[in-house]
Structure 1
């Protein structure tokens, strides 16, 4: 296990990274604006479940295999990017096919937000690479098995990111509720949500390995 000094260093670094604006926070922001606080919260929970799967995969070595295979990494990256673009295009298509969403429609659809958040995070190989690059700096293989240490450090980071995402949903959700009574703003919400998701997908697809 890390020393007490290493734990404090890790907690400080993880806290800064978790609360820095990134794809996860932008994803939750887009879903919160498009569907309100409840959808944002469920998206945050889905993100955390997906990140937890990456922690488990890295702990048992699956992420190391992914890192060693350029083809596997590239395929997973493009699949994840395509999924985000699909979510964004669907949000924009709903405007064309169904008109302006009525207030509260996001609440009825937010059951799928957990699944969509989970899938989009699981299909993001950057998360796997992050855990493999960041956490090993705080474990010591020369001291024996570090499985529990790796798992604990990873889950602590997931908790930090969940708190950050929930704060985003808490502040963005009420904003969505306030402007939901205005049809023009509801359309803008949907457009902002869809274009943000498409932008995230494009950024992931164009990012370097």
Structure 2
């Protein structure tokens, strides 16, 4: 049992470190709306991770492997969600550029605005409020948008079930552990991205960040849509 657990911890940590759509969305939220919003997005994502793991424990994720129609339906739906997120991010950069031209001069404004900026930085620097519920749903939808997570769960988690252990219960426990490892990985990332928010929310830097995240999400969506494996 100890050997399987150690192997699982190492593998799950490496998997958490691999960047994906969730990473882009979490960093984007933390940089744009602050640490609280970033953490809410992480919690939504981990709820999705836990749901995929529990689905594997109940045997539901196996349907994605057994039924090509079910997998393709979720794949196309997930791709559409990621493409929508990417296009929306790109559209927001265009809209901000045309509606807030004065923001460029605000970057080099006199020190009269410094106290307010410093106060914002001290509280996480949230320049654009976003409800925790909305951020949570954003993370949850992003996690559900990738059906490969379900296929991965049903093929990855069973490898670490010790011989003779109750399979559904063990898979459920591993799913919880998987979500906690993901949470431990993303929390410092949110902290760093939220702390850098004062710089990242400057109009020029923010547009670049939004454009980059939009392109990456769009790429993930198109890749998922065209993946027939």
TM-score, normalisation: structure 1: 0.86
Q: Distance in 1 between matches of 2:194 and 2:172?
A: 32
From 192, 199, 203, give the equivalent of 1:178: 199
CA distance in structure 1 between the aligned counterparts of 2:135 and 2:48, rounded to whole angstroms: 12
Greater Rg over alpha carbons, structure = 2
Residue aligning to 1:77 = 75
Aligned ranges 1:121-140 → 2 under 5 Å: 121-140=143-162
Q: Output the CA distance in 2 between the equivalents of 1:144 and 1:159.
A: 22
Tell me the distance in 1 between the aligned counterparts of 2:126 and 2:188: 21
Q: Give the superposition deviation at 1:54.
A: 0.8
Q: Which residue number in structure 2 is paired with residue 147 of structure 1?
A: 168
Match of 1:64 in 2: 62
What is the CA-CA distance between 1:6 and the residue it aligns to? 1.4
What is aligned with 1:160? 181
- TM superposition shift of 1:105: 4.8
Matched, 1:4 2:2: yes
Q: Work out whether residues 87 and 194 of structure 1, in 8 Å CA contact, stay in contact via their aligned partners in 2.
A: yes
Report the counterpart of residue 135 of structure 2 in structure 1.
Answer: 113
Spell out the pairing of 1:185-204 with structure 2 (5 A cutoff). Answer: 185-204=205-224
RMSD across aligned C-alpha pairs, in angstroms?
Answer: 2.4
- TM-score when normalising by structure 2: 0.79
Q: Distance in 2 between matches of 1:78 and 1:106?
A: 32
Q: Which moved more, 1:199-208 or 1:150-159?
A: 199-208
Match of 1:143, SS state, is: coil
Deviation of 1:202 (Å): 2.1
Task: Output the CA distance in 2 between the equivalents of 1:68 and 1:48.
Answer: 25
Query: Matches of 1:95 and 1:144 in 2, distance apart?
Result: 52
Q: Structure 1 163/194 Cα, relative in aligned 2: closer, same or farther at 3 Å?
A: same
| 1:74–1:18 CA distance, 2 compared to 1 (3 A) | same
**Separation (CA, whole Å) in 1 of partners of 2:226 and 2:31:** 25
When residues 33 and 201 of structure 1 are mapped into structure 2, their CA distance, relative to the original with a 3 A threshold, is farther
Instruction: Describe the shift of the 1:165–1:56 C-alpha distance in structure 2 as closer, same or farther (beyond 3 A).
Output: same
